[in-house]
């Protein structure tokens, strides 16, 4: 994902890092919004949930835009 979100203030340099991390045998992923989501039992579960999280965020943005907020 190299695109800029509509509400990002300006283009900038963003450094890629691993989104999935393991803590005490459980897996978490970090978001652009600064949250840590999880825990998940496997890395595969965490990676699958990243895709679900992105779909939910995009759907929420669509709903907000359609209501004129």
pLDDT tens across 9-39, in order? 666 655 556 889 999 999 999 998 899 999 9
Supply the pTM of this predicted model.
0.68
27 burial (CB, 10 Å; 0-12 / 13-18 / 19+) is buried
Domains of the chain by residue range: 20-66
| Average pLDDT of every residue of the chain | 85
3-class secondary structure, 36: strand
Give 34-53 pLDDT, tens digit per residue: 999 999 999 999 999 999 99
7 falls in which pLDDT band (50, 70, 90)? low
């Amino acid at each position: 994902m190299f695109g800029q979100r509509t509400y990002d203030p300006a283009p900038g340099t963003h450094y890629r890092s691993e989104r999935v991390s393991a803590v005490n045998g459980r897996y978490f992923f970090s978001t652009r919004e600064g949250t840590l989501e999880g825990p998940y039992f496997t890395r595969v579960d965490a990676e699958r949930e990243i895709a679900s999280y992105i779909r939910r965020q995009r759907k929420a943005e669509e709903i907000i835009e359609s209501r004129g907020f």
